[in-house]
């Protein structure tokens, strides 16, 4: 069957099982959009390409499938880059397809030309500039394979206009993938797994650190079995939130700069650290030389380059967390280290998360109320900054893929478009974006997207009239010199209404719960704008570069 390049793109996406594409058309991708016009694949028109990339990202995080986004050449592609970098840092599988100027004009500084593959090479797992339509189908198949296997990540395909118009034979199912330089290992070395089990069986003070890789691998069940079989307390990284139920007695919740006391102390006091699917980010380890310094370290990760990158470990196991844990559980003996566990329980009970409630609405109070009001399968999405950390700390996270946040890149403006992607992928779930006023303003144009497509996401704005996290640093480390962090108050309920979205403004404490209930029950998209106390800080906090048991504030 002969198809044009544009038709090949759409047909190949269909055969990959793609149900939705997020994007914005433009001159250099107009032919692909023309082919899309006749197709059954849903298209969600974003209103900034950054939004489109975050939507694909949110969709991928919520569903575990590959997210797909489209953009035109030049500015369309450059606008995608923040979203691509965000997905890259958090190992999220997306395929981005960009239009490019015709082949003969590449390198001539043509209208809307940018070196898209050059620009995105450090922020993609791989990228392609398609120069021959006969290679297009194979490239798309490879792109999906690379994006979702091994350590997942974004893959970009840049397609010049003439390639979109040229024709080639198309037989997708006959294409065999054989990439010489890409053979990810999954099973893990059995001798290493046995050695890890021996260390766990001998350990007196074991502690698990579960990262985003546990969620990616779908290994939460195995993690639960391992932890409960040998009674090992579980801390998670920020990206690992949801991998282990936070209401379980063995849960230490999240660790790191804004981690929980018990998690940070347990990591510093353990004699054996079992790190699973994490990359020892500086936000998790604090001062890396003193991180878990009393512990022997086991590191399970699918990416061999993560072994010994930030923290040198004793037993590395490279492979898929789910497969490795399944084997590991068999070799681990049932046990209960009473002394260690009672120390952990004491840590947890003597250092609960607290805040000083008062007359004004506290951000933490808002998160607690959201947590009380929402049903169990709610997906919490966050923006970046204080709103993100309070959402991590004061909401009880129980399930994988139900907490979606920009961990590595820390992209303000991520949450709202990501929540749109999440809702499109999980229409059955209530999706709540917990936003800050600063972050929400960075992609607020997507209110038009939720109206046009009737996507009933809910936004709860923690409106503190500040770039709160930077303001907090300025308060603590810069003598309250609030350089460019205090904002003018914006009425987000009115803005929402102007777009045709339900808007509710909350200024009094007692209004909060009714407002949340009414927004969550409302059939369409809704924004709840909550005016909170401005100078509230995220506590606990570890100063940057300090050991993670050097905690500022609170008890």
Binding site for another protein (CB under 8 A): 117-118, 121-122, 125-126, 129, 146, 179-182, 303-305, 307-309, 312
The DSSP code sequence of 378-442 is: PEEEE-SSHHHHHHHHHS---STTSEE---SS--TT-HHHHHHHHHHH-TTS-EEEEEEHHHHTT
Alpha-carbon gap, residue 366 to 371, rounded angstroms: 9
CA–CA gap between residue 57 and residue 65 (Å, rounded)? 10
To the nearest whole angstrom, how small is the minimum distance from the Cβ of residue 500 to another protein? 44
Report the residue number, 100 or 264, with the smaller CB distance to another protein: 100
Closest of 262, 157, 516 to residue 365, by C-alpha: 516
Nearer to another protein, 106 or 341 (CB): 106
The two three-digit tokens of residue 154, written as one number? 């974004």
Number of Cβ within a 10 Å radius of residue 376: 9
| Total Cβ atoms within 10 A of residue 191 | 10
Q: Shortest gap between Cβ of 275 and another protein (angstroms)?
A: 17
Q: Which helix (H) or strand (E) holds 21?
A: strand 20-23
Q: CA-CA distance, 162 to 387, in Å (whole number)?
A: 46
Return the number of the residue (106 or 323) whose C-beta is nearest another protein: 106
For residue 234, what are its two tokens? 């579980």
**Helix segments in 453-506, DSSP class H:** 468-477, 492-499
Write the Ramachandran bin of 253: left for phi over 0, alpha for psi from -120 to 50, otherwise beta.
left
CB of 180 to another protein, least distance (A): 5
Rank residues 72 and 117 by Cβ distance to another protein and give the closer one: 117
- Output the smallest distance, CB 308 to another protein, in A: 6
Q: Say how far apart CA 307 and CA 274 lie, in whole Å.
A: 13
End-to-end CA distance of the chain: 69
Distance from chain centroid for Cα 105: 37
CB of 126 to another protein, least distance (A): 4
CB of 156 to another protein, least distance (A): 12
- Smallest gap from Cβ 194 to another protein, in A, equals 24
SS3 30: helix
> Can you list the alpha helix ranges (DSSP code H) found in 217-260?
220-230
Judged by beta carbon, residue 46 or residue 302, the one nearer another protein is 302
Alpha-carbon span 421 to 393, nearest angstrom: 24
Give least dist CB 548 to another protein, A.
23
Measured from the CB atom, is 122 or 375 closer to another protein?
122
Residue pair 226/329 in contact (Cβ under 8 Å)? The answer is yes
CB of 125 to another protein, least distance (A): 7
For another protein, the closer of residues 96 and 447 by Cβ is: 96
Q: How far is the CB of 304 from another protein (least distance, A)?
A: 5
CB nearer another protein, residue 231 or residue 310: 310
Min. distance of Cβ 145 from another protein in angstroms? 10
Select 81 or 537, whichever has its Cβ closest to another protein: 81
Residue closer to another protein (CB basis): 179 or 498: 179
Our CB check for another protein shows the closer of 213 and 259 to be 213
Closest CA to 277 of 313, 315, 310, 318: 318
Residue 365 and residue 511 in contact, taking contact as beta carbons nearer than 8 Å: no
């Amino acid at each position: 069957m002969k198809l044009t390049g544009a038709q090949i793109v759409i047909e190949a996406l269909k055969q990959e099982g793609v149900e939705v594409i997020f994007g914005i058309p433009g001159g250099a991708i107009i032919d692909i959009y023309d082919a899309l016009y006749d197709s059954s694949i849903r298209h969600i028109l974003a209103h900034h390409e950054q939004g489109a990339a975050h939507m694909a990202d949110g969709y991928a995080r919520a569903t575990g499938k590959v997210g797909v986004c489209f953009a035109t050449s030049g500015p369309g592609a450059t606008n995608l880059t923040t979203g691509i970098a965000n997905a890259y840092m958090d190992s999220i599988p997306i395929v981005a397809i960009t239009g490019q100027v015709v082949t003969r004009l590449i390198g001539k500084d043509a209208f809307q030309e940018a070196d898209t593959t050059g620009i995105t090479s450090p922020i993609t797992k791989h990228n392609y500039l398609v120069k021959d339509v006969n290679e297009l189908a194979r490239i798309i198949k490879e792109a999906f394979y690379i994006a979702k296997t091994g350590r997942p990540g974004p893959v970009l395909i840049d397609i010049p206009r003439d390639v979109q118009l040229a024709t080639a034979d198309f037989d997708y199912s006959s294409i065999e993938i054989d990439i010489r330089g890409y053979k990810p290992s999954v099973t893990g070395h059995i001798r290493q797994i046995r050695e890890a089990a021996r260390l766990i069986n001998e350990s007196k003070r074991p502690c698990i650190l579960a990262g985003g890789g546990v969620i990616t691998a779908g290994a939460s069940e195995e993690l639960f079995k391992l932890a409960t079989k040998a009674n090992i307390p579980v801390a998670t990284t920020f990206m690992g939130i949801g991998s282990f139920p936070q209401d379980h007695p063995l849960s230490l919740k999240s660790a790191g700069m804004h981690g929980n006391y018990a998690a940070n102390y347990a990591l510093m006091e353990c004699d054996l650290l079992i790190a699973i699917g994490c990359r020892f980010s500086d936000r998790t380890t604090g001062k890396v030389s003193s991180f878990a310094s009393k512990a022997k370290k086991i590191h399970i990760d699918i990416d061999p380059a993560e072994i010994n990158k930030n923290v040198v470990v004793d037993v590395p196991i490279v492979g898929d967390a789910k497969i490795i844990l399944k084997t590991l559980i068999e070799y681990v003996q049932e046990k209960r280290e009473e002394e260690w566990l009672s120390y952990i329980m004491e840590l947890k009970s003597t250092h609960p998360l607290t805040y000083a409630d008062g007359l004004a609405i506290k951000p933490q109070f808002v998160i607690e109320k959201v947590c009380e009001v929402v049903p169990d399968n709610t997906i919490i999405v966050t923006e970046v900054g204080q709103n993100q950390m309070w959402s991590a700390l004061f909401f009880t996270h129980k399930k994988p893929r139900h907490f979606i946040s920009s961990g590595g890149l820390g992209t303000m403006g991520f949450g709202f478009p990501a929540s749109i992607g999440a809702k499109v992928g999980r229409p059955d779930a209530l999706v709540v974006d917990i936003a800050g006023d600063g972050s929400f303003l960075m992609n607020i144009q997507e209110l038009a997207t939720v109206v046009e497509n009737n996507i009933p996401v809910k936004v709860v704005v923690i409106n503190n009239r500040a770039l709160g996290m930077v303001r907090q640093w300025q308060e603590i480390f810069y003598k309250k010199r609030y350089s460019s962090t205090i904002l003018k108050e914006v009425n987000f309920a009115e803005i929402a209404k102007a777009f045709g979205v339900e808007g509710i403004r909350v200024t009094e404490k007692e209004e909060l719960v009714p407002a949340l209930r009414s927004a969550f029950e409302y059939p369409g998209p809704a924004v709840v704008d909550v005016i909170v106390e401005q100078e509230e800080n995220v506590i606990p906090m570890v100063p940057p570069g300090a050991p993670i048991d050097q905690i500022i504030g609170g008890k």
